A and B are shown apart, each in its own frame.
Chain A
Amino acid sequence: MRRLTALLAGLIFGLGLLLAGMSNPAKVLGFLDLGGAWDPSLALVMASAIGVALLPFTWARRQQRSLLDAPMQLPQKRELDRRLIGGSLLFGIGWGIAGICPGPALTLLLGGYWQSLLFVLAMLGGMWLFTALERRRTH
């Protein structure tokens, strides 16, 4: 059952990205371009998503188990450290260069665009680099 709900949630998420315009890099860059003609649409995407998710997440925070009896796995870290801020700043630079973040990169992958294939390969490379650097640090 949880496999089915995972697949369904992923599908709805992807349809949402497509409908919202998040999967159009030109539109994302139009949102990030405060200094030019600014398209505020994506601020509404975020506000709407948070508005819908706020109550369910408030409920989830107080539970030990999910409705389908899985352990509730919410992040426990609290500290605002250099990794969090530095990593997020780097991510933002990449987002600003191409207008693509990880979700839309995957929704675009089967659309037949060479650009999305190249981006996803580079993104996987970046994630692999992280894992390799972490392994080196802890050994």
Chain B
Amino acid sequence: MVIDWAHFTPWTALAGGALIGLAASLFVVLNGRIAGISGLLGSLLQRGTDGRDEKALFLLGLLAAPLLWSLFGALPEIEFQTGWPGLVLAGLLVGLGTRYGSGCTSGHGVCGISRLSPRSLVATLAFMASGFATVFVLRHLWGG
């Protein structure tokens, strides 16, 4: 394994992670809810969901974050590496998979592991493993 030191950003990673952890903590301690993005979004798409206003406002905050950020400085670098067919396929798989799996990086990876849920640990190991495998296949077998 070769570490990419040029792109390694430990301090912003730790600070950004702390903000994510803080936000998830506030949402559970104050609102009694899990800050799982796919779960919040998915439940808003269904009928008969409770607490629509709180869920929608959390997601609105997420949408508004880059606007608030850009009041104070330039947005960090954002680079897409996937063409439109890949984006469509990826979006479909992420939407379908997170609903069947009851969560994503935030709901399982952050909130679930923080409450020591075995289900979330298994889910996190599963999506990390298939994420690593997919990039390996696409970058080193398919294109390589």
Check B101 against A83 for contact (C-beta < 8 Å): yes
Check A106 against B78 for contact (C-beta < 8 Å): no
Check A124 against B45 for contact (C-beta < 8 Å): yes
Check B33 against A73 for contact (C-beta < 8 Å): yes
Check B111 against A97 for contact (C-beta < 8 Å): no
Check A127 against B100 for contact (C-beta < 8 Å): no
Check B3 against A38 for contact (C-beta < 8 Å): yes
Which of A15, A45, A50 interacts with B65 by CB under 8 Å?
A15
Q: What count of chain A residues pass the 8 Å CB interface test?
A: 113
Minimum CB distance partner of B61 in chain A:
A10
A73-91 vs B: 1/0 string, CB under 8 Å?
1110111100111111111
Check A39 against B8 for contact (C-beta < 8 Å): yes
Find residues 18-38 in chain A having any chain B CB closer than 8 Å to their own CB.
18-27, 29-30, 32-38
B3 CB to nearest A CB, Å: 6
What is the interface of chain B mostly: helix, strand, loop, or mixed? helix
Given contacts A20-B20, A48-B21, A97-B82, contact A9 B101 (CB under 8 A): no
Which of B54, B69, B91, B111 interacts with A123 by CB under 8 Å?
B91
A16-B140 Cα distance, complex, nearest whole Å: 31
Other A-B pairs, 19, CB within 8 Å; known A46-B109, A49-B21, A84-B101? A6-B54, A11-B61, A11-B65, A12-B26, A20-B15, A37-B7, A47-B17, A49-B17, A49-B24, A52-B18, A56-B25, A88-B97, A88-B103, A88-B123, A89-B97, A93-B93, A102-B104, A115-B84, A122-B91
Check A18 against B16 for contact (C-beta < 8 Å): yes
Q: Which residues of B are at the interface with A, using a C-beta cutoff of 8 A?
A: 1-4, 7-10, 12-35, 37-38, 41-42, 45-46, 53-55, 57-69, 75-82, 84, 86-106, 108-119, 122-124, 126-136, 138-140
Check A7 against B58 for contact (C-beta < 8 Å): yes
B93 CB to nearest A CB, Å: 3
A16-B29 Cα distance, complex, nearest whole Å: 18
A92-B86 Cα distance, complex, nearest whole Å: 14
Chain B residues, CB < 8 A from A60: 28-29, 32, 115
Which of B4, B80, B90 interacts with A39 by CB under 8 Å?
B4
Which of A54, A122, A123 interacts with B114 by CB under 8 Å?
A54
Which of A48, A49, A84, A98 interacts with B87 by CB under 8 Å?
A98
Given contacts A75-B117, A98-B82, A115-B87, contact A44 B10 (CB under 8 A): yes
Find residues 47-70 in chain A having any chain B CB closer than 8 Å to their own CB.
47-54, 56-61, 65-68, 70
